[in-house]
Amino acid sequence: MVDIRLLVDSKNHLGEGPLWDVEEQRLYWIDSSAAEIWTCKEDGSDVRLHYVPSHIGSMALREKGGAVLALANGFSLYEFKTQRLTHIGDPEADEPENRLNDGKVDRRGRFVAGYMSYDHDRQDANRGQRPVRNSALYRLDPDLTIHRLDSGIKCSNGPCWSPDNKTFYFCDSYDDKMYAYDYDIETGNVSNKRLFLSNADYPGTFDGSTVDSEGYIWNAHVFGGRIIRYAPDGRIDREIEFPVRNLTSVMFGGKDLDIMYVTSMGRPMKGVPQKEASAGGLFAVYGLGVKGLPEPRFGG
């Protein structure tokens, strides 16, 4: 039986990016617009908080210690004890209205993250009022070089890989679409982009994703109040309804990688009801009967 629990009543403004680290046996997640990094043990205890100087879209832990961050002004390295930042680069520095958003690490230690426009935040409930700036998807290699993988993206979300490393999944939340690409694990390059899913029949839109050990894709439907598991052929396999509407991302964790951690949004959105007391909290889902995959660390 599936059991959904509010694990940490964090009241995040924009909770995102749950990240289970198998080495530390700890969960990390972020409050994007509050510029905070949160962490706790498997059961939600020992909550700790770290601060960064600007909007944070995502993070990954490093093999060398600390983290790599996707911040509003590009990629940076971060030391937890000193809160020291080392800026790497901002490939969209000429677009001040764009900021880095969701990102994850492939199984060769590369960090893949894409941008979104602040216009998306302003128009979540009022789409079509004005054009949203296009942005792109990038790969940060362990040698700290940055490479563009795709362009024409409005709101980057949900990067994740199939267990065999051959398929890369990625969402453009503003367009309500999830794409699949062929992925070359040797080079980190993508090709053969195709539409994997379109969100025509469900409330909300695609947000953060993860892939389980069976190769099924789990996605948080922000504004839709549910987590959906998709088969590798795009078929809906399972739906789990939540007590809050604005879910943002998912990740398997725990010592057996069988707990699903789910972040949520607590900030009010124009035109989107937000009345749940637990909105913005970190949730844990038990009893799913499937396991996730270990999340790699950034190689740089």
Q: What is the pLDDT along the chain (300 residues), one digit of tens a residue?
A: 899 999 999 999 999 999 999 999 999 999 999 999 999 999 999 999 999 999 999 999 999 999 999 999 999 999 999 999 999 999 999 988 899 999 999 999 999 999 998 755 544 444 445 456 688 999 999 999 999 999 999 999 999 999 999 999 999 998 899 999 999 999 999 999 999 999 767 788 999 999 999 999 999 999 999 999 999 999 999 999 999 999 999 999 999 999 999 999 997 665 555 568 899 999 999 999 999 999 999 999
**Residue 207 appears among annotated catalytic residues:** yes
Q: Tell whether the torsion through CA atoms of 22, 23, 27 and 30 is positive or negative.
A: negative
Residue 16 is assigned to a ligand binding site: yes
Q: Of residues 124, 172, 207, 212, which has the active-site annotation?
A: 207
Residue 47 exposed, middle or buried by CB count within 10 Å (0-12, 13-18, 19+): middle
6 within 8 A of 281, measured Cβ to Cβ: yes
Residue 99 is assigned to a ligand binding site: yes
> Sheet harboring 48-51: ordered strands across?
15-21, 26-31, 36-40, 48-51
The model's pTM is 0.94
Cα–Cα distance, 282 to 179 (Å, whole number) = 27
222 within 8 A of 240, measured Cβ to Cβ: no
Residue 207 is assigned to a ligand binding site: yes
Beta partners for residue 56, in sequence order: 71
Give, for 262, the enclosing helix (H) or strand (E).
strand 259-264
Among residues 294, 219, 284, which one has the least CA distance to residue 256? 294
Give the strand pairing for 167-172 and 177-184.
antiparallel
Size (the chain), residues: 300
Superfamily of the domain at 3-286: TolB, C-terminal domain (2.120.10.30)
Both tokens of residue 22?
């198998």
For the chain, the domains span 3-286
Cα–Cα distance, 50 to 26 (Å, whole number) = 14
Helix extents (H) in the chain: 118-123
Residue 119 is assigned to a ligand binding site: yes
Put residue 245 in one of left, alpha, beta given phi > 0 → left and psi -120 to 50 → alpha: alpha
